[in-house]
Amino acid sequence: MEVKRPEWTSHFSFIAATVGSAVGLGNIWRFPYIMGKNGGAVFLLTYLLLIAFICIIPLCCELTMGKIYKKDAINTFSAINPKYKWFGWLCIFTVTLIPCFYFVVGGWILNYIWVFLTGNLPDNFAVYFSNFSSQIFMPCFLTILFLILTAIFPYRGVNSGIEKANNIMMPAFTLFLFILAVFALTLPGAKDGLLFMFKPDFSQFDKTMILTALGQALFTLSIGMGTILTYGSYMKENTNILKSAYTLIICDTIIAISAGIMIFPIVFSFGVQPSAGATLAFISMPQMFSELPFASVFGLVFFILLFFASITSGISMMETTVAAFMDNLNISRKKSTILTVFIIGLISIPATLSFGVLKDFKLCDKTIFDFLDYTTSNLFLPFNTLIICLIAGWCIPYFWEKAFGKGFIGSIFNILLKFIVPFILICVLVSGI
Ligand code: TRP
């Protein structure tokens, strides 16, 4: 039975959904600490250049493929050429693995919301975090809870689930972020924080920094897994690709920078190292909040913010898989969602336990959580993006005209698409391996 493909009801919904997918833990949690580790302003500058001129290319490719073919990732690639069907499955494989570690962090966020809601704050968050994340029952329960909360939206469908969630959560998220950023700017460390972010120190510039910036840019834009393609397949006929892609990039970047403006003044006010790393969000930040007046309020706002960011990204990951299972296994949306929940649940439990009982179980010298994070972000993501660019640039006639327009910009972007971006991605891949 051929069912009519759903469509976003407005341009705002389309932008809110793609921004909701792009803005996630990558912006609020990963971006500030990677920037902290890579020297602040110089990293930011490199990142901006890469995102504006390099990442825009695969982003437009995915959106255009969605717009032209109006199918899920697997059927899109097999429509281009039945030989490429395997690649569609690879995208789905990748996008199903990401939530298996992403939702573990989602479970921690739920736990911290509870802690700040009840006001029972521990004295030492470092001890608290390591005790909590190494337990068996609670972290697994919360990972699954986060998974089920996320699944509700794809289960209900594109318009009554996904679109509604993004239309409400994304504006609320932006509001909360600006409130916290403005508050952070009133703290004594604000000046140092801003100097760190915006005053370049060119001695920090090196090759690995460029590769890290590119990896982060691809991750944060949700490129390389058919997610943007799937969301693009619900877009209206008259949507302008290049304009939408730049809108998405600008929103994503403003939000990542605002997250930095929120975090660094707090970090400098409390004398924490800006390069503290992944623990910034779950140890340093809550510790600092707990020392401020109205601790529970600020902490709660911060974790609700993280919750909105992660659930809207999670919804887009699940929708990519759900849409693909629906159309390729010929099952209903509801059955497809249940199957997706089942698969993600099965893999995310060992990933959750890799902070406790399974912490000595190593794959390629990494815990299960780190292994999933590393292989998807550093290998599959650049590899898939490379293949998308190659297929778009070399296998679909006149693709560039549809993606970038016929004018001068279109021709420049065509050269980027055919030669420069693939070359850069090959460099990233080689260095990743
Ligand atoms: N962009 C998301 C973030 O910044 C993470 C992400 C990576 C993602 N790849 C994805 C989200 C694919 C959805 C689909 O957190």
Residue range 77-115, pLDDT digits in tens: 999 999 999 999 999 999 999 999 999 999 999 999 999
Categorize the per-residue pLDDT at 1 as very low, low, confident or very high, splitting at 50, 70 and 90.
Answer: very low
Quote the pLDDT of residue 3. 66
pLDDT of residue 2: 53
What is the token pair recorded at 97? 């693995």
Distance from C-alpha of 380 to C-alpha of 429, rounded to nearest angstrom: 9
In this structure, which CATH number among 1.10.8.80, 2.60.40.1180, 1.10.4160.10, 1.10.645.10 belongs to the domain 11-432? 1.10.4160.10
**From ligand 1's centre to the CA of 19, what distance in Å?**
10
Centroid of ligand 1 to alpha carbon of 253 (angstroms)? 14
Nearest CA to ligand 1 atom 10: 222
Atom 12 of ligand 1, residue of closest alpha carbon:
222
| Burial state string for 109-130 with b = 16 or more CB within 10 A and e = fewer than 16 | bbbbbebbeeeebeeebeebbe
Q: What is the pTM of this model?
A: 0.94
DSSP 278: G
Q: Is the CB of 26 under 6 A from ligand 1?
A: yes
For residue 316 and ligand 1, the question of a CB distance below 6 A is answered with: yes
Q: What is the pLDDT of residues 282-294, one digit of tens each?
A: 988 898 888 887 8
pLDDT of residue 202: 81
Question: Does the pLDDT value for residue 272 go beyond 70?
Answer: yes
Ligand 1 center from residue 216 Cα (angstroms): 10
Per domain, the residue ranges of the chain are 11-432
The average confidence (pLDDT) of the chain is 93
Give residue 133's identity as a one-letter amino acid code.
S
Residue at token pair 């508050």: 183
Contact 13, 166 (CB under 8 A): yes
Which atom of ligand 1 lies at the shortest distance from residue 95's CA?
A: 12
Half-sphere exposure at residue 2, Cβ-oriented, CA atoms within 13 angstroms: 2
Please report which confidence band the pLDDT of residue 29 belongs to, taking 50, 70 and 90 as the band edges: confident
Give residue 361 CA to ligand 1 midpoint distance, Å. 26
Ligand 1 site-directed mutation target among 177, 225, 313, most atoms within 8 Å of CB: 313
**What's the gap in Å between 408 CA and the centre of ligand 1?**
31
**Candidate ranges 89-93, 187-191, 428-432; pick with highest mean pLDDT:** 89-93
* CA nearest ligand 1 atom 6, residue: 222
Ligand 1 centroid to 203 CA: how many Å?
31
